[in-house]
Amino acid sequence: MRTENWINNIKTFLYSYHFSNGLRTTISVVVPSLVCAALGELGLGIAMSMGALCTALSDVPGTIVHKRNGLIISTVLIFLTALATGLLIPYHIPMVIWIAGCCFFFAMLLVYGNRGGNIGTGCLLVLVSMLGESLQSPSTVFLHAGMVLLGSIWYSFLALLLWQIRPYLNVQQALGDCILQTARYLELRANFYTPGVDVEENYRTVLAQQVLVNEKQENVRELLLKRRSDQQGTTSINKSMVLIFLDMVDLQEQIMASQTDYKALQRDFKDSGILHQFHTLILDYVEELKTIGLAVAAGQRSLPKSNLKLGMEKVRRTIAEITLQLPTLKERTRTMPLTNILQNLQDMAQRIYNLHRLTRLERLKDESIDPNLELSKFTTKNKYDFETFKDNLTFRSHIFRHAIRVSLATVAGYVLGMSLHLDRVYWILLTIIVILKPGFGLTRSRSIQRLIGTITGALFAAGLLYLTKNPTIIFISMLLCILGAYSFMSFRYTLSVFFVTPFIIFLLHFLHPSDLYNAAQRVLDTFIGGTLAFVANMVLWPSWERNFLPDYMQKMLQSNKHYFEVVMSVYAKETVTVTDFKLARKATYVASANMMAAFQRMLSEPKSKQHNASRVYHFVVLNHTMTSHTAALGAYYLHHGVQFPRPEYQEVTNYLLHYMDQLMLLLNDKTAKDVNLPPPLNTFEHLDQHLEELVKLRQQEINDGQGPTATRDEMLETKQVHDQLMAILALVKDMGKALSGTEK
């Protein structure tokens, strides 16, 4: 089993966007240097390779329009930056001003999101690389900048050509990655059925994984739904991927809808063996999803490996045996959570089998995308105008403060390097640029990761250069290092730095042989740059996550409230469109993931900056649990409808919505004093009484030998809705206690 997992991990990596991006970048970087080296102009080839590398950074997943525009803007800015930097190299004071201005402007491009931030980083890398060149005259500068421009054009041509050849590759890889991360999410939730599990600790890992799942879903929306809404793609591959993604989002909801009181489940059934059966069956689901994810990423077809129906039948028999051991109907209602979980697993199995069929492009003619589902509404509209830039030119903007930090830290690094007469000042600036991030936690982790990667990479390079002087072996090793560096850059930073360091040392070995000196210099400059970046983020207007948490908490609670309101409106027989329902669900998932991501960032900050961490985490868990119970109510309606609406449902809904409004007041210092939590609700007493009557009537029907009846159906529906609403009521009360005790 371990060997199979190891093989699957390799397959996952080879079929991923990370590897294909690394391979594309490696080809674009290596080819110009090889061609120019063959012509005896390796220096110009390296300049061209640098242009290709920096342009590659801007090539993040997105629609072809965004991809093309990003490459054009990146190419122009990189050329202008290279040209101006080269001309200013002899003049130290103008260079200081130029470095400060460039660092501020390019760091500010983060206001345009990931693509804008990467364009800025690519321009800064060109600036830094030019500082390491010895350009004697303006004509040499123009030639060097021209080669950088040629490299940018070369990469842009290659990227757009590959997109034309395989336009769906990035979408397939992103969708496959999304499915694999969802499988991991389900795997972590399966641990709730492990006897003796620490429920609270498992929630922590589940919530962290939910952040990843949401990130992957947003990537797919950007790539797939915008492509469809902008270009109205109608090919069978496009249609199958849209259907797969829609099924995956619904599957994610079904996973969350399996929410139950896990502590009570452990207490009531820990010795029955049913929990172990659930755990084993869910792990079979996980393996099926992994198979589907790998197939989608590779553009292949998948087939089921496990007999999920047989596994469900075994679970059903066990539940029946447990039920028969309970003498009265009232006691047997304790097994309803088990039945609900099984029903949820049956629905999930149907989706998994459907996903297998969609990878094989089967039954596509019979499948249709709901015309009422307005896909364009599920994508994020990005604004690339000057107003966005101008609005962030204030100290209230954390990106503005970050840009100031980058500017001052790089100037300090440049001045320090020149004062100490260091050979490669640009290594210090390079370290500052890639380490310094808007948040303190990420900067600290990047500093540590970069130092570890640099030291180990330098030791590896020094060891290889000590063992051999064979240029072929060193060159092949350099190529592998390039591939590794760019393949792991976006998700395994330490490993990426490990490969980058020997790549640079081997390159310098060919240009200026001084083996161990290069390795030692690289480590020293990394240490200086990392220290400057760390100090800058600690001292210069730091952005502590605790200042943003109340806003994230409010957005999470607001979206949860809206989701609950939309779902409960169907129980009041109001009309709700599919789009409204799914938009409310998406907003809740996004807000929850943003909140958890902010909380994780806060935990990486100094202890003195972490206020009420345990209380905030408790609030996050309560909200996540409430989302799951709301999803359970939504899933029940979608699969069964509401056959027996009760007036109590509307009363409870209004009460809970009012309670949540009061909780949102608690999250704001200015309104906390106006909070007036509502008194206990007696509506549940009426609902309990009605449910008790239904149980008695059903017991009488059973005694009379009657099978399924309307009374049985009403009892099951009322019990299901009653339990979910009771759980949500308990959760909002716990939120009130958590917030009342939180110091702000």
For 462-507, give the secondary structure using H, E and C: HHHHHHCCCHHHHHHHHHHHHHHHHHHCCCCHHHHHHHHHHHHHHH
Within this chain, do residues 555 and 418 fall inside the same structural domain, yes or no?
no
Domain-located, residue 135: no
> Which residues neighbour 740 within 8 Å (Cβ) at sequence distance 6 or greater?
666
CB-CB contact of 432 with 410 (8 Å): yes
Within this chain, do residues 595 and 483 fall inside the same structural domain, yes or no?
no
Within this chain, do residues 520 and 442 fall inside the same structural domain, yes or no?
yes
Confidence category of residue 381, pLDDT binned at 50, 70, 90: low
CA distance 395 to 93: 27
Tell me the per-residue pLDDT of 578-628, one tens digit each, with 9 for 90 and over.
778 888 888 888 888 888 877 877 776 667 666 777 788 888 888 888 888
Within this chain, do residues 564 and 428 fall inside the same structural domain, yes or no?
no
Q: What pLDDT, on a 0 to 100 scale, did the predictor assign at position 83?
A: 92
Within this chain, do residues 580 and 676 fall inside the same structural domain, yes or no?
yes
Give the residue ranges of DSSP H helices in 89-198. Answer: 92-108, 113-131, 138-165, 169-190
3-state helix, strand, coil split of the chain in percent (to 5) is: 80, 0, 20
Tell me the per-residue pLDDT of 34-64, one tens digit each, with 9 for 90 and over.
888 888 887 788 888 888 888 988 887 777 7
CA distance 193 to 206: 14
Q: Which residue has the tokens 């969350």?
A: 256
Of 542, 566, 600, which one is at a domain's C-terminal end?
Answer: 542
Tell me the per-residue pLDDT of 656-676, one tens digit each, with 9 for 90 and over.
998 888 888 888 777 777 777
pTM of the model: 0.79
Q: How far is CA 653 from the centre of its chain?
A: 32
Domain CATH code at residue 616: 1.20.58
Domain-located, residue 359: yes
Domain-located, residue 141: no
Within this chain, do residues 204 and 326 fall inside the same structural domain, yes or no?
yes
Report the 10 Å Cβ neighbour count for 323: 17
Within this chain, do residues 489 and 454 fall inside the same structural domain, yes or no?
yes
CA distance 248 to 242: 10
Tell me the per-residue pLDDT of 291-312, one tens digit each, with 9 for 90 and over.
999 888 888 888 888 888 898 8
State phi, psi for 302 to the nearest 5 degrees: -125, 150
Q: What pLDDT, on a 0 to 100 scale, did the predictor assign at position 692?
A: 84
Radius of gyration of the chain (CA): 29
Q: What pLDDT, on a 0 to 100 scale, did the predictor assign at position 744?
A: 41
* Number of separate domains in the chain: 3
Tell me the per-residue pLDDT of 190-246, one tens digit each, with 9 for 90 and over.
998 887 778 778 888 888 888 888 888 888 887 777 655 444 445 677 778 888 888
Within this chain, do residues 529 and 455 fall inside the same structural domain, yes or no?
yes
Confidence category of residue 380, pLDDT binned at 50, 70, 90: low
Q: Which residue has the tokens 């004062």?
A: 419
Of 361, 376, 391, which one is at a domain's C-terminal end?
Answer: 376
Within this chain, do residues 523 and 552 fall inside the same structural domain, yes or no?
no
Average pLDDT, the chain: 81
Q: Which residue has the tokens 């990047």?
A: 446
Q: What pLDDT, on a 0 to 100 scale, did the predictor assign at position 231?
A: 42
Tell me the per-residue pLDDT of 166-191, one tens digit each, with 9 for 90 and over.
877 888 888 888 999 999 999 998 99
488-503 mean pLDDT? 75
Domain-located, residue 83: no
Within this chain, do residues 370 and 410 fall inside the same structural domain, yes or no?
no
CB-CB contact of 180 with 226 (8 Å): no
Domain-located, residue 180: yes
Of 522, 542, 562, which one is at a domain's C-terminal end?
Answer: 542
Domain-located, residue 287: yes
485-512 mean pLDDT? 72
The domain in which residue 457 lies consists of 401-542
Within this chain, do residues 461 and 578 fall inside the same structural domain, yes or no?
no
Within this chain, do residues 203 and 333 fall inside the same structural domain, yes or no?
yes
Which of 313-327, 363-377, 438-452 shows the lowest per-residue confidence on average (mean pLDDT)? 363-377
Q: Which residue has the tokens 């939120």?
A: 735
Q: What pLDDT, on a 0 to 100 scale, did the predictor assign at position 332?
A: 74
Cα 649 to Cα 260, 652, 729: the distances in Å are 20, 5, 12
Domain-located, residue 115: no
Quote the tokens at residue 82: 């290279």
Domain-located, residue 265: yes
